[in-house]
Amino acid sequence: MKTALVTARPGKKIRLSKIEPGDTAGATKEKALARVEKLREKLLRWQEVFYADHRHSLLIIFQAMDTGGKDGSVKSLFSCINPAGLHITSFKAPTTEELDHDFLWRIHRATPGKGMIGIWNRSHYEDVLVARVHKLVEKKVWKARYDQINRFEKNLHENGTTILKFMLHISKDEQCRRLQARLDDPEKRWKFNPGDIKERALWDDYQEAYEDAINCCTTDHAPWHIVPADNKWARNLAIIETVVRAFKKMKPRFPKLSFNPIEVKVE
Superfamily of domain 6-252: P-loop containing nucleotide triphosphate hydrolases (3.40.50.300)
Spell out the domain ranges in the chain.
6-252
How sure is the predictor about 251, in pLDDT bands with cuts at 50, 70 and 90?
Answer: very high
Sign of the alpha-carbon dihedral angle for 37, 39, 45, 46: negative
pLDDT single digits (tens) 125-181:
999 999 999 999 999 999 999 999 999 999 999 999 999 999 999 999 999 999 999
Question: Taking the model in full, what pTM does it have?
Answer: 0.95
pLDDT single digits (tens) 37-61:
999 999 999 999 999 999 999 999 9
Task: Output the pLDDT for position 93.
Answer: 87
